[in-house]
Structure 1
Amino acid sequence: MPVTLLGAAEIRALASELDVTPTKKLGQNFVVDGNSVRRIVQVAGVTAGERVVEVGPGLGSLTLAILETGASVVAVEIDHRLAARLPRTAAAHGVPESALVVVDADALRLSELPGEPTVLVANLPYNVSVPVLLHFLQTFPSLQRGVVMVQAEVGERLAAPPGSKVYGAPSVKAAWYGPWRLAGTVSRQVFWPVPNVDSVLVAFTRDPQPRGTEAERMRTFQIVDAAFQQRRKMLRQAVSGVLGGSSAAASAVLERAGVAPTARGEELGVEDFLRIARAS
């Protein structure tokens, strides 16, 4: 039998059965519109036979839309009640048992995933979206691309280029792994409960080769954090604490890296920060 999607009434009934009230603490807003979840899957380009990891499947709206394509899903859910119920919901909607694996865990603490998924598709809780994305990209090199629904402000920051008003540490850290782009807006009305923020889809593709070693990534991120903690200051002052302890020492490193000591962090791309890391 073909996979069918959850309707709004069934989602509310499931929540009532499980005594689940969407909580701000877990950033839960359930998608109740079938067209919206299908659109996310379409933007992600999910095809039959692919293995997809979904973070925060909740009651299963997006999960079923992914499974509808013939892909298999590893669903990571922190709420034990939702994790326990999801396989039954999937079975009732025509999903073969072998197509879905539910991992009952905190996504931020995961160090392994079954089956090496290549695609990440998720409606990410607003409060942990950036940490989850960076953790998954760092921890699971099998992930080649993905589309996530996040708060508009977060998505714009992830996809921001150098020089943009919203460009910051998350923009640089995300770019370490490859390019990001905004891939569409999402109406507040497709969620239950209706959030008081706008949402967007943001897509990424991992670069074919790692940008640097793990030690270089850690050093680069340390410099990025310092640069944006004091983003209005010139780099020679902002990063002096991690580049020799004085503005003169920092200036020497920056000059070796080919970066003007008077520049500010918001002007630099990820490759600039990597050159600074290597020069230090």
Structure 2
Amino acid sequence: MPLSPSQTRELLEQLGHRPRKQLGQNFLIDGNIVRKSLELANVSSGDHVVEIGPGLGTLTRALLEKGAIVHAVEFDPKLGDHIESIAQDEANLHLVKGDALDHPLGDLPSDIGDYKIVANLPYAISTPWMAVVLERQLPSVMTLMLQKEAAQRYAAKSGTKQFGAISIFLHAAFDILPGHDVSGSCFYPKPDVGSTLLHLRRKSDPYRFSPESSQLIRDIFQQRRKQIASLLRKSKSDTAKVWLGKLESVGIEPNARPEQIETKLWIALDKEQS
């Protein structure tokens, strides 16, 4: 069971640690949310699971109890020492003490087949971390506790204000299933922003854009209100020149704005290069 608020405060005092708001250190204290995370990810014995920001180890212990092999990454030195003390008695817990942007999958071996990601993701790194993960071998499942605003961007569909580059990349590779809003009372300290538990399942035929195409899409969405043809003409990217000549053939109006273009059309445009 997760620690209660009073137990969480007590453990933090023992560790001499004060939660750091800038790192999004809000510790989960609701057992139902922990169980829901494992249930959505369908965690089973022997699964390799990456956890980012294990903190006090609430989710970590639940994963270990399921028999998972956990590859955790903790940035905070004091919390890293705490998780390291747990790892001494747990053969299935592997910890990297460092930045998740440098170690997005911890020490997960490159020859592992399927793996899963289950994490109460630190808000400050959610989108840059996700961008790095999408360049690696894709997990079969991601169950992520996210700031509500980030979850909305991830799940956004074309034609909405939240729709952007990260939405395209995720929709191309994953089925994004309905999220569950999570009350601030489920955390200690209580966060100032809303949270969402989001579940992503890898498609049977996931599509990944090349690094060059991914960067071009990010650049385009920096000026999301301008027309796509105009943005491509101004770009110095060789990919942009190819795309400009293929817009209408894949069903994209030259005067369309980036946020109006569906993910499947971005994919069709990118495939025209090959």
The normalised TM-score by structure 2 is 0.87
Q: Distance in 2 between matches of 1:200 and 1:255?
A: 38
Which AA in structure 1 matches 2:79?
L
Aligned partner of 1:101 in structure 2 is 94
Tell whether 2:108 aligns with 1:114: yes
Aligned partner of 2:81 in structure 1 is 84
Aligned partner of 1:182 in structure 2 is 178
Q: Distance in 1 between matches of 2:210 and 2:203?
A: 14
Aligned partner of 1:148 in structure 2 is 144
Do the aligned partners of 2:172 and 2:207 also contact (CA within 8 Å) in 1?
A: yes
Do the aligned partners of 1:223 and 1:277 also contact (CA within 8 Å) in 2?
A: no
How many residue pairs get matched? 268
Amino-acid identity (%): 34
- The 5-angstrom pairing of residues 29-68 of structure 1 reads 29-68=26-65
Aligned partner of 2:71 in structure 1 is 74
Aligned partner of 2:204 in structure 1 is 208
- Residue 18 of structure 1 deviates from its aligned partner by 1.7
- The 5-angstrom pairing of residues 130-145 of structure 1 reads 130-141=127-138, 143-145=139-141
Tell whether 2:5 aligns with 1:8: yes
Q: Distance in 2 between matches of 1:268 and 1:276?
A: 11
Do the aligned partners of 1:163 and 1:267 also contact (CA within 8 Å) in 2?
A: yes
Do the aligned partners of 1:108 and 1:132 also contact (CA within 8 Å) in 2?
A: yes
Tell whether 2:190 aligns with 1:194: yes
Q: Distance in 2 between matches of 1:87 and 1:222?
A: 37
1:18 pairs with 15, 19, 23, which one?
Answer: 15
Coordinate RMSD, CA, aligned: 2.5
Do the aligned partners of 1:231 and 1:238 also contact (CA within 8 Å) in 2?
A: no
Do the aligned partners of 2:51 and 2:73 also contact (CA within 8 Å) in 1?
A: yes
Tell whether 2:230 aligns with 1:230: no
- Residue 122 of structure 1 deviates from its aligned partner by 0.5
Q: Distance in 2 between matches of 1:119 and 1:249?
A: 36
Aligned partner of 2:24 in structure 1 is 27
Structure-2 change in CA distance of 1:71 and 1:223 (3 Å) = same
Q: Unaligned 5+ residue runs, structure 2?
A: none
Q: Unaligned 5+ residue runs, structure 1?
A: none
Q: Distance in 1 between matches of 2:84 and 2:76?
A: 14
**Deviations along 1:119-168, whole A, 9 cap, x unmatched?**
10011111211111221232233x21110000111101101111223211
1:170 pairs with 162, 166, 173, which one?
Answer: 166
Secondary structure of the corresponding residue to residue 21 of structure 2: coil
Q: Distance in 2 between matches of 1:147 and 1:39?
A: 9
- Residue 251 of structure 1 deviates from its aligned partner by 4.6
2:234 pairs with 230, 241, 246, which one?
Answer: 241
Do the aligned partners of 1:244 and 1:250 also contact (CA within 8 Å) in 2?
A: no
Aligned partner of 2:258 in structure 1 is 265
- Residue 70 of structure 1 deviates from its aligned partner by 2.2
Q: Distance in 1 between matches of 2:262 and 2:62?
A: 36
- Residue 90 of structure 1 deviates from its aligned partner by 6.4
- Residue 204 of structure 1 deviates from its aligned partner by 0.9
Do the aligned partners of 1:243 and 1:249 also contact (CA within 8 Å) in 2?
A: no
Do the aligned partners of 2:104 and 2:132 also contact (CA within 8 Å) in 1?
A: no
Secondary structure of the corresponding residue to residue 157 of structure 2: coil
